[in-house]
Structures are given as C-alpha cells and as structure tokens.
Amino acid sequence: MRILYLSLGSISLALGTLGVILPVLPTVPFLLLTTYLYSKSSNKFHQWFISTRIYHLYIEGFIQDRSMTRERKWALLLFVDIMLALSFILVDSILVRGLIILIFVTKHYYFYKYVKVIKP
C-alpha cells in the first residue's frame, strides 16, 4: 500500500508542479493530495516535500491556518466545480446527482466559512 501511496503522491506532485506553469491545471488540489499521500507512504518523502519551496508557497498557509489567497481559492473552487458539473452531466442516477449537489453545496459552505483569504 505504501508503494501505491508513494506512486500516486509523485504523480500528484508532477501534476501540481505542471499547474504552476499551466493555468488550466490547478496547483493547490494536487499539492494537497501530494501532502496527504506522502504522509501515508513515507516519512522521508513527506519531510522532503514539506521542506520544498513549492510547499511553502502554495500549501503551508492552508495547512497551518486554513488560509489562501483569493486567486488560489477561486481557482480551486472553479476547478472542482467544473469536475462536479461534468460528473453531474455524465451520470444518469438521481441519487448520484443529489450527492454531487450535496458535495457542491458543502464545499462552498466550507470554503466561505472556514478558509480565510490572505493577501499574497
């Protein structure tokens, strides 16, 4: 299982790093996923990742005090909203569509209530 977490964490890190360069890929969700996956796979990789510049620029504020810049917050919300909208369109099940709506509402509530906006 640790190898799977490490592999997925590395893929997530690559996608997050690409997201820094390409505006169509979100950076923060992939780097948050990297943090989680590395923490589950290897203390060595987790410690390495949290010492990197990319972690300090994009993730540290969110992990420590649940804050991010307005631009990052909107980019993250927009990306997830697009993914949820695509899922909503592609499924036929009313139960799954209801679950997607619940996830959408809960996500926005959480971000507006608990994630502080900071200046860059």
Q: What is the mean pLDDT of the chain?
A: 90
CB-based burial of residue 62 (10 Å sphere; 0-12 exposed, 13-18 middle, 19+ buried)? buried
pLDDT in tens, 83-120: 889 999 999 999 999 999 999 999 999 988 988 898 87
Where are the alpha helices (H) located in the chain, listed in sequence order?
Answer: 2-21, 28-41, 43-50, 53-58, 60-65, 70-90, 94-114
Q: Collapse the DSSP code of 92 into the 3-class scheme (helix H, G, I; strand E, B; otherwise coil) and give the result.
A: coil
Percent of the chain past pLDDT 90, that is, above it, reads 58
pLDDT (0 to 100) of residue 108? 93
- Tokens 């504020």 map to which residue? 61
pLDDT in tens, 45-91: 999 999 999 898 888 888 888 888 888 888 888 888 998 899 999 99
| Average pLDDT value for residue range 19-46 | 89
Band of pLDDT at residue 26, cut at 50, 70 and 90: confident
- The C-alpha angle 19, 11, 38, rounded to 5 degrees, equals 105
Q: How far apart are alpha carbons 80 and 87 in whole angstroms?
A: 11
Write the DSSP symbol of residue 120. -
Residues in the chain: 120
